[in-house]
Amino acid sequence: MWTFLAVAVMVCCASVLHTSPLSGRKVPDFGQMYHIKGVISLPYAEIKEPFEGWYDLQGKRSRIDYYHGQVSTFQLSAAGDHGVGYKITPVTTETEFNTMKCFQVNGSKEDPVLPQAALPNPQGFQFELIEYFAGHLCEVWKNVTVVGHKKNTYRLWVARPEVGVSPAIPYHYEMMGYNTLLGSHYDKYLIDYSDFSPKTDPKDFDLPAGMSCGPFPGPGVAHRILANPIQDLIHTSPVGHVNHLFGHFKEKYERRYEDEVEHEKREHNFVHNVRYIHSMNRAGLSYSLSVNHLADRTEKELAMMRGVKLSKTPNKAQPFPTELRALTLPDSLDWRLYGAVTPVKDQAVCGSCWSFAATGALEGALFLKTGERVVLSQQMLVDCTWGFGNNGCDGGEEWRAFEWIMKHGGISTAESYGGYTGMNGLCHYNSSFLTAHVKSYTNVTSGDLEALKAALYKFGPTAVSIDAAHRSFSFYSNGVYYEPDCKNGTDDLDHAVLAVGYGVMDGQPYWLVKNSWSTYWGNDGYVLMSMKDNNCGVATGATYVTLS
């Protein structure tokens, strides 16, 4: 439906006809009313987002739909004292699934709600050249802005029936940002337009009948972006609303950067992650994303937190007992409700996820055996299991930790060993204080969902490995997580977590999984992972322990 995709930009713009300004050339004008369709491409965020816009400046109103009407935003400047913005979007929580809701943002004297253009304002642009774009003879108009270290170059491709005639017909808009301090490009986005019409229907600006609108939930710092996401792209300033959010992010998570260079790099990461998060939330998925403490991290730093180092070495695990298949299983299970799960922890920038999955399985087994919830030491496993093939903060496997515990007679509690440091340390322990004496460990039949359910029901929280190498997982917030690009092969698993239950939400079966990225991540540190097609490999490499 949308013909002009960003990938065609360089291919279609090869034939330059004029490279010098022509006399009498007027700045394009799109008029005070129009309807337009297009696709926003954010290369750094790996997003292509279709949209449709209606604009009526004289009527003081606008509307923009995203993802084929999945999300709609309205900007009605004649409503209220200073205008009102509305956003109609599907909402998924722990108690409802894809319920359409309307949220409202009231303008203020300092920040009124105004009609939002889907096209850039060409005032201040200079004519650059004429060239073909996507088969159309286009004028190219250019604007360059500089604020501090940031130099942004904007270009707009338009066609006209006759030279200088308006309204012009837009075909393409692109922004390229360069940071002189970093010596690199820090931003880029492209918008391809189609189906331009200088007309709208008054009914296009009506809110759905019978829908009541309330305030956005949570703190209000991001509400203006959520209510009008395209605003940050249709402007010619190097600093937008997303950049202002960075200040609130630094304050909330107490970020202190080493110097100006690091600050610029972190802001760069943050801006593109926020754009990705907001765009994905407009796509009507079965889950939602949110800005969390990882939003300024690089992909390399995020990868360091996925510390599973799978090997081809056979282990001494017991085979899964076939008699468990005869168990009558409950429809849902949550070991948190019984006290078998200790609080969510934070592994920090250390590839020790395997130690958290291992201790989680041990803590669950110990609870089932004694009825007591005891917090065990991940740091001990990080420090002491090198001789069994683990590499501390550089990754490891749960079964190797179990082998070490079997040989040495148990594991220390977190209290007796000392706190978790997020780095490799000196191994130390008192044998008389060891607990959770492991008799054996068992590999659940790979890929068998019913077997994993039975293991959870019979033996408690179970260590599992998953494919977590997706930005959507890094910023998961709530709902049933299903990532089409997630793999489930043994060699694809890069992160260890703890399965603590299962259930069904709105017809979608899920695993209840505890992560080790703090309570800032996910739903208080937890994620509901879809069982569909063994998504992300939850059932591929699961292991539970049996205590002596």
pLDDT in tens, 438-451: 999 999 999 999 99
Cβ neighbors of 548 (< 8 A, separation 6 or more) are: 437, 438, 439
pLDDT in tens, 251-290: 999 999 988 889 989 998 998 899 899 999 999 899 999 9
On the question of a cis peptide bond just before residue 167, with omega within 30 degrees of 0, the verdict is: yes
Cβ neighbors of 170 (< 8 A, separation 6 or more) are: 28, 30, 36, 119, 156, 157, 158, 193, 196
| Helix (H) / strand (E) containing 355 | helix 353-370
Rounded (10°) CA dihedral 510, 511, 517, 518? 90
Residue 317 lies in a domain: no
d(CA 457, CA 433): 29
Q: Once rounded to an integer, what is the mean pLDDT over residues 358-377? A: 97
Tokens found for residue 245: 């959010």
Exposed e or buried b per residue across 521-542, where buried means at least 16 C-beta atoms within 10 angstroms of its C-beta: bbbebbbbbbbeebbbbbbbbb
Q: Quickly state the pLDDT bin for 152 (edges 50, 70, 90).
A: confident
Location of structure tokens 């550089």: 394
CB 351 within 8 A of CB 517: no
d(CA 528, CA 400): 27
In terms of domains, do 157 and 253 share one? yes
Task: Please state whether beta strands 126-133 and 16-18 pair in parallel, antiparallel, or not at all (unpaired).
Answer: antiparallel
Give the highest mean pLDDT range of 1-15, 114-128, 497-511. Answer: 497-511
d(CA 515, CA 461): 12
d(CA 444, CA 502): 16
Domain of 89: which CATH number?
Answer: 2.50.20.10
In terms of domains, do 471 and 362 share one? yes
Active-site residue, 515 included: yes
pLDDT value, residue 399: 95
Active-site residue, 241 included: no
Residue 145 lies in a domain: yes
In terms of domains, do 267 and 126 share one? yes
Choosing from 138, 495, 523, 534, the catalytic residue is: 495
pLDDT value, residue 218: 59
Residue 17 has pLDDT above 60, yes or no: no
Domain of 529: which CATH number?
Answer: 3.90.70.10
In terms of domains, do 234 and 349 share one? no
Choosing from 515, 523, 534, 535, the catalytic residue is: 515
pLDDT value, residue 220: 57
What amino acid is encoded at 548 in this protein?
A: S
In terms of domains, do 371 and 509 share one? yes
CB 235 within 8 A of CB 241: no
Cβ neighbors of 529 (< 8 A, separation 6 or more) are: 466, 480, 481, 510, 511, 513, 535, 536, 538
d(CA 380, CA 384): 6
For the chain, how big is the Rg over CA atoms in Å? 27
pLDDT value, residue 222: 62
Q: Once rounded to an integer, what is the mean pLDDT over residues 404-419? A: 95
Give the highest mean pLDDT range of 6-15, 275-284, 403-412. Answer: 403-412
Cβ neighbors of 254 (< 8 A, separation 6 or more) are: none
Residue 154 has pLDDT above 80, yes or no: yes
Between residues 414 and 228, the one the model is more confident about: 414
pLDDT value, residue 508: 95
Q: Once rounded to an integer, what is the mean pLDDT over residues 8-31? A: 54
Choosing from 12, 350, 353, 486, the catalytic residue is: 353
Q: Quickly state the pLDDT bin for 221 (edges 50, 70, 90).
A: low
Q: Please tell me what DSSP assigns to residue 235.
A: S
Location of structure tokens 């403490």: 293
In terms of domains, do 130 and 58 share one? yes
Residue 298 lies in a domain: no
Nearest Cα residue to 540 out of 478, 493, 506, 494: 493
Residue 297 lies in a domain: no
Active-site residue, 353 included: yes
Which runs of E-coded beta strand occur in 68-168? 71-76, 84-91, 99-106, 126-133, 136-147, 150-159
Residue 366 has pLDDT above 90, yes or no: yes
d(CA 449, CA 441): 19
HEC profile for 178-196?
EECCCCEEEEEEEEEEEEE
> Using CB atoms within 10 A of its CB, is residue 493 exposed (0-12), middle (13-18) or buried (19+)?
buried
Tokens found for residue 464: 């599992």
Q: Once rounded to an integer, what is the mean pLDDT over residues 526-542? A: 98
In terms of domains, do 400 and 542 share one? yes
| DSSP helix/strand/coil, 244 | helix
Location of structure tokens 């259930």: 503
In terms of domains, do 535 and 398 share one? yes
Number of domains in the chain: 2
Query: What residues pair up with 511 in beta bridges, in sequence order?
Result: 502, 529
pLDDT in tens, 180-199: 665 656 678 899 999 999 99
d(CA 361, CA 460): 7
Q: Once rounded to an integer, what is the mean pLDDT over residues 509-527? A: 96
Q: Once rounded to an integer, what is the mean pLDDT over residues 488-514? A: 96
Residue 293 lies in a domain: no
CB 360 within 8 A of CB 456: no
In terms of domains, do 337 and 441 share one? yes
Residue 197 lies in a domain: yes
Cβ neighbors of 343 (< 8 A, separation 6 or more) are: 375
In terms of domains, do 147 and 178 share one? yes
Residue 375 lies in a domain: yes
Cα-based angle 422, 418, 294 (whole degrees, multiple of 5): 25
Tokens found for residue 61: 């109103």
In terms of domains, do 230 and 125 share one? yes
Residue 99 has pLDDT above 90, yes or no: no
pLDDT value, residue 183: 64
In terms of domains, do 194 and 133 share one? yes
Q: Quickly state the pLDDT bin for 430 (edges 50, 70, 90).
A: confident
Residue 296 lies in a domain: no
Q: Once rounded to an integer, what is the mean pLDDT over residues 35-44? A: 90
pTM of the model: 0.78
Average pLDDT of the chain is: 88
Range of the domain at 470: 303-312+329-547
pLDDT value, residue 437: 94
Residue 520 has pLDDT above 50, yes or no: yes
